[in-house]
Amino acid sequence: AQSVTQLGSHVSVSEGALVLLRCNYSSSVPPYLFWYVQYPNQGLQLLLKYTTGATLVKGINGFEAEFKKSETSFHLTKPSAHMSDAAEYFCAVRSGGAQKLVFGQGTRLTINP
């Protein structure tokens, strides 16, 4: 069975600082990995995804993530945080057919001015 663990339910950084959100996964098949973002009172929006190929994946809004098979990790980073990055972030892994996803618990990112 596939599963996702996000380390830290709440991360707080200063504006302009590095953002690092951690995600570890467990998968019995080659993983397809995703990061979604949820702004307050909205649905989720895809930030980036890894399926095959290059292990460093770039997404929207300056975010990127690196797939590390040996560490079963897919951490999300952004070099310089902006106030508009405040949101909840979810890591997800492919789970079986029909493009089903298993989501992590979510990490709430707060940006301090």
Partner 1 sequence: NAGVTQTPKFRVLKTGQSMTLLCAQDMNHEYMYWYRQDPGMGLRLIHYSVGEGTTAKGEVPDGYNVSRLKKQNFLLGLESAAPSQTSVYFCASSYPDTYEQYFGPGTRLTVT
Which residues sit at the interface with partner 1, rule CB under 8 A?
4, 9, 32, 34, 41-46, 49, 51, 90, 94, 98-106
| Nearest CA among 27, 56, 16, 38 for reference residue 47 | 38
User: Quick one: how far is CA 61 from the chain centroid?
Assistant: 13
Choice between 58 and 100, CB closer to partner 1: 100
Antiparallel, parallel or unpaired: β 3-7 and 19-26:
antiparallel
> Smallest distance from the beta carbon of 85 to partner 1, in angstroms?
19
CA–CA gap between residue 64 and residue 59 (Å, rounded) = 6
* Kind and range of the H or E run holding 48: strand 44-50
> Smallest distance from the beta carbon of 17 to partner 1, in angstroms?
25
Choice between 55 and 105, CB closer to partner 1: 105
Choice between 18 and 29, CB closer to partner 1: 29
> Smallest distance from the beta carbon of 88 to partner 1, in angstroms?
10
Choice between 97 and 113, CB closer to partner 1: 97
At position 43, the amino acid (one-letter code) is G
> Smallest distance from the beta carbon of 110 to partner 1, in angstroms?
16
* CA-atom Rg of the chain in angstroms: 13
